[in-house]
Amino acid sequence: MAHFLPVCAAWLREKRIAFIITENRRNGKMIVYGSHYGTAKWYAEKLGEKLGEEVVSVESFRGAKEPVVFVSGLYAGGFKGAKTFQKRIDGTKFTLVSCGLADPKEEKTRREIERNARAAFKDWDGPLFCVRGAIDYRRLSVLHRVMMWMMKTMIVKKGLEAENEAFLATYGSRISFCSEDQLDPIVAYRQKNERF
Ligand SMILES: Cc1cc2nc3c(=O)[nH]c(=O)nc-3n(C[C@H](O)[C@H](O)[C@H](O)COP(=O)(O)O)c2cc1C
């Protein structure tokens, strides 16, 4: 018993210190990512390095007091982790970064991402940035393979439109459009704007 009490006290002290550290970190600015295959995570980590901010997955995100950047992979127009993020962000301002295969330099693609973002994040009034991701069909889950196959069948049936050309050209392959320089405008924006 004589040994047990000091051990318990030390354990509690350690836990309390860990709790305080975690809470303090949560009070700082941070980058949150929602990613299936690691592309959005890669961008989030690079952004974290450039801005000196903590990087957390949406699954371990518990809320923030300072404006957050949410980097999220696009899946059939939806944002990976959007529901969980929405629940935990609780009114805090955030910058959204979409990470998809389609080229956001195409006006139609960008407009569609923006429309989907407004629908997914109801009270969001922050800026949107779009970076280009990567895909490796060999790594896809069965569900995602089927989704991609259905998308291809639909495109082929409907007739080829310009914005689907890249999709068909990359179908079944392994390709990356990732590059660090796509983060430059986000870094500049984050450094200039206190609100986001
Ligand atoms: C089933 C499926 C659906 C996808 N839907 C879209 C989409 O709607 N728009 C887009 O630009 N990219 C789409 N992509 C491509 C992903 O957004 C891209 O691979 C991204 O880099 C994934 O991010 P992650 O690796 O962080 O999960 C899709 C990929 C899969 C497998």
> How much of the chain exceeds pLDDT 90, in percent?
72
> How many helices and strands (H and E) does the chain possess?
7, 8
25 has pLDDT over 80: no
Give distance in angstroms: CA of 133 to centre of ligand 1.
7
**Half-sphere exposure (Cβ direction) of 89: Cα atoms closer than 13 Å:** 27
**Closest residue by CA, ligand 1 atom 18:** 100
Residues 71-94: pLDDT tens digits? 999 999 999 999 999 999 988 999
Three-state DSSP at 128 gives strand
**Closest residue by CA, ligand 1 atom 23:** 73
Element (H, E) at 88: helix 82-89
How would you classify residue 48: left for phi > 0, otherwise alpha for psi between -120 and 50, otherwise beta? alpha
* Residue bearing tokens 């950047």: 69
24-133+178-196 CATH: 3.40.50.360
pLDDT band at 161 (very low <50, low <70, confident <90, very high): confident
C-alpha torsion sign, points 133, 138, 141, 145: positive
Mutation test residue for ligand 1: of 75, 152, 177, the one with most atoms within 8 Å of CB: 75
Three-state DSSP at 141 gives coil
β-sheet bridge partners, residue 74: 79
**Closest residue by CA, ligand 1 atom 10:** 100
pLDDT at 15: 59
Cβ-proximal residues to 182 (8 Å cutoff; 6+ apart), any chain: 43, 131, 132
19 has pLDDT over 80: no
Give distance in angstroms: CA of 144 to centre of ligand 1.
9
pLDDT at 159: 77
pLDDT at 123: 84
Q: Where in the chain are the domains?
A: 24-133+178-196, 136-176
What is the signed CA dihedral for 65, 70, 33, 89, rounded to 10 degrees?
40
pLDDT at 3: 61
Residues 93-150: pLDDT tens digits? 999 999 999 999 999 999 999 999 999 998 898 999 999 999 999 999 999 999 999 9
Q: Which atom of ligand 1 is nearest to the CA of 36?
A: 27
